[in-house]
Amino acid sequence: MAALQQCCTLLLSGKAKERHDGQTTLRELLEARDDELVTYLDDAGWGRLIDSFLSSVEHERAELVAKQLSAIARGRLETRLSQLARDLRTLVDMSCRRLAPRAVRSILQHAIAVLPLHADALCWPLMLDYARALKTLLMHRPHRDRLVPSSWECLVQLCARGLLSRPPGERERGQPVLQAALEGELAQLFCVLVTAETVPLGKHAEALFNFFHSYFGERSSADTSGPGTLKIRQLVV
């Protein structure tokens, strides 16, 4: 457990190098499916580890917003954020059924806070694997059943924004693999959210109708066979 405690300490550091060291250590433990993670962490331990990790992601994301970055520096930071998103997905895959409600709330509130970059943009480097992680989390019914309306609304809005937007530089023509994967994951997460039994959909009917109208309205007949579009179409039908 000493390695994990040190890892958490590094992830919470105010120094970038120490945070990066903590991220690297955690990644190595995740890739090895280390026994300390799988066997010895209890619910509270998973909560502490995830809180520490989420804090480190928030530091990295803040740099993307706050700093004037060169194209090279921005590219490196976006690559690091994409890797951190994959790490979160692995953490959720390993811990989903053991997470206490407080840890689940932390992940949801974190995602709601960091995925919008500012009023007009999303944090695209995080979107794909955060969508996968959130889908895994909310497909577990005990977690989904505790989803509060305010969080549900924010997550649905994020999915809708992602499905109606395109990452900068993506698909001038056609549909590259990354964009197709992102749209597919967002569509699946959207469907998990919309079919949640604890949320009264009647009060959101107009907003959902407007989304469906916009989503299908902007797609040509040649653009309706992707995984995301098919998933949304199945939901509507």
What would the DSSP string read from start to end of 171-232?
Answer: -SSS--HHHHHHHHHHHHHHHHHHT-TTS-GGGGHHHHHHHHHHHHHT--GGGS-SHHHHHH
Query: Quick one: which of 50, 60, 68, 69 has its CA closest to 17?
Result: 60
| Conformational region of residue 35, where left means phi above 0, alpha means psi within -120 to 50, and beta covers everything else | alpha
CA separation for the pair 174, 171 (Å, rounded): 6
Residue 83 pLDDT > 50: yes
pLDDT bracket for residue 222 (50, 70, 90) = very low
User: Model-level pTM?
Assistant: 0.88
Residue 92 pLDDT > 60: yes
Q: Beta strand 121-122 with 116-118: parallel, antiparallel or unpaired?
A: antiparallel
CA separation for the pair 55, 139 (Å, rounded): 24
Give SS3 for 13: coil
CA separation for the pair 92, 101 (Å, rounded): 13
Contact (Cβ atoms closer than 8 angstroms) between residue 106 and residue 99: no
Query: In this predicted structure, which of 28-42, 47-61, 147-161 has the lowest mean pLDDT?
Result: 28-42
Higher pLDDT, 47 or 237: 47
Query: Quick one: which of 87, 111, 105 has its CA closest to 147?
Result: 105
- Those residues with Cβ within 8 angstroms of residue 60's Cβ, 6 or more apart along the chain or in another chain: 19, 77, 80, 81, 84
According to the model, what pLDDT value does residue 173 have?
43
pLDDT of 121-144, one tens digit each? 899 999 999 999 999 999 999 999
Pull the structure tokens for residue 97: 């059924």
Residue 172 pLDDT > 50: no
Strand blocks (E) in the chain:
116-118, 121-122
Q: Residue 67: count other Cβ atoms within 10 Å of its Cβ.
A: 11
39 DSSP 8-state letter: I
According to the model, what pLDDT value does residue 78 have?
94
Mean pLDDT computed over 33-40:
66
pLDDT bracket for residue 178 (50, 70, 90) = confident
pLDDT of 224-237, one tens digit each? 555 555 556 555 54
